[in-house]
Structure 1
Amino acid sequence: MRRIGQALLAVSLFAGCGGTEIDPSSESIEQRQSSLTQTNVDVAPECQGILGFVNTASFQTLDVYLPSDVATNLVTRRAAAPFVSLADISSVRLVGPTRLEQLASGARNEGFIGSSCIGILDGLAVSTDDAAAIVSLVNTISDSELHDVLPDAWNGASNLLNLRPFTSVQAISNVAGIGDVALRNIRNAATLSRPLEALIDAVNAVPQNGLYGANMARHFDWWEVVTTRGTYRVGRLECFGLEPSSVPYGATVRPNLADAAEVRAEIVDTLSAANQNNQISSSVISAGLANLDALTAGRSFKGCYFSYADDPWSGNNVAIFVDTVNGFSVMTETYWSE
Structure 2
Amino acid sequence: MRRLGSALLAVSMFAGCGGLETEPSPESLTSPSFESQQAPITTTDVDVAPECKGIITFVNTATFQTLDAYLPSNVVTNLVNRRATAPFTSLADVSSVSLVGETRLKQLEQGARARGAINSTCVGIFDGLALSTSDAAAIVSLVNTIDDSELHDVLPDAWNGAANLLNLRPFTSAQAISNVAGIGEVSFRNIRNAATLSRPFEALAAAVNAIPSNGSAGVQLKRHFDWWNEVTAQHGYSQGGPTCFGLEPSSVPYGATIRPYLANSAEVMAEVQSTLDYVDADTKISPNVIAAGMANLSARTQGRSFKGCIFSYADDPWSRHNVAIFVDTVNGFSVFSETWWAE
Q: TM-score range by the shorter chain?
A: 0.7 to 0.9
Q: Would you say 1:248 and 2:253 are equivalent positions?
A: yes
Q: Would you say 1:176 and 2:176 are equivalent positions?
A: no
Query: SS at 1:316's partner residue?
Result: strand
Matches within 5 A, 1:125-274: 125-231=130-236, 233=238, 237-274=242-279
Cα distance, 1:310 vs. partner?
1.5
1:88 to 84, 90, 93: 93
CA distance in 2 between partners of 1:309 and 1:49 (Å)? 56
Match of 1:291 in 2: 296
Conservation of the 8 A alpha-carbon contact between 2:241 and 2:255: no
AA aligned to 1:243 is: E
Conservation of the 8 A alpha-carbon contact between 1:232 and 1:310: no
Gaps of 5+ in 2: 1-36
AA aligned to 2:181 is: A
Match of 1:301 in 2: 306
RMSD: 1.7
Cα distance, 1:38 vs. partner?
3.4
CA distance in 2 between partners of 1:32 and 1:46 (Å)? 5
Relative to the length of structure 2, the TM-score reads 0.86
Match of 2:108 in 1: 103
Conservation of the 8 A alpha-carbon contact between 2:243 and 2:258: yes
What per-residue deviation string (whole Å, max 9, x for no partner) do you get for residues 188-228 of structure 1? 00110011101011100111111111111000110110000
1:327 to 322, 332, 341: 332
Match of 1:27 in 2: none
CA distance in 1 between partners of 2:282 and 2:246 (Å)? 36
Relative to the length of structure 1, the TM-score reads 0.87
Gaps of 5+ in 1: 1-30
Query: SS at 2:283's partner residue?
Result: coil
Cα distance, 1:229 vs. partner?
4.2
CA distance in 1 between partners of 2:281 and 2:44 (Å)? 32
Query: SS at 2:316's partner residue?
Result: coil
Match of 1:64 in 2: 69
Cα distance, 1:62 vs. partner?
0.8
Question: Identity across aligned pairs (percent)?
Answer: 71
Conservation of the 8 A alpha-carbon contact between 1:47 and 1:113: yes
* TM-aligned CA distance change 1:128 to 1:326, over 3 Å: same
**Following superposition, which runs of at least 4 residues in structure 1 exceed 4 angstroms of deviation?**
231-236
CA distance in 2 between partners of 1:72 and 1:142 (Å)? 47
Match of 1:38 in 2: 44
* TM-aligned CA distance change 1:162 to 1:57, over 3 Å: same
Q: Would you say 1:314 and 2:325 are equivalent positions?
A: no
Structure number with the bigger relative contact order (C-alpha 8 A, sep ≥ 6) is 1
CA distance in 2 between partners of 1:181 and 1:112 (Å)? 27
Cα distance, 1:232 vs. partner?
7.7
Paired residues in the alignment total: 306
* TM-aligned CA distance change 1:179 to 1:277, over 3 Å: closer
CA distance in 1 between partners of 2:155 and 2:57 (Å)? 32
CA distance in 1 between partners of 2:284 and 2:82 (Å)? 53
AA aligned to 1:214 is: V
Conservation of the 8 A alpha-carbon contact between 1:235 and 1:307: no
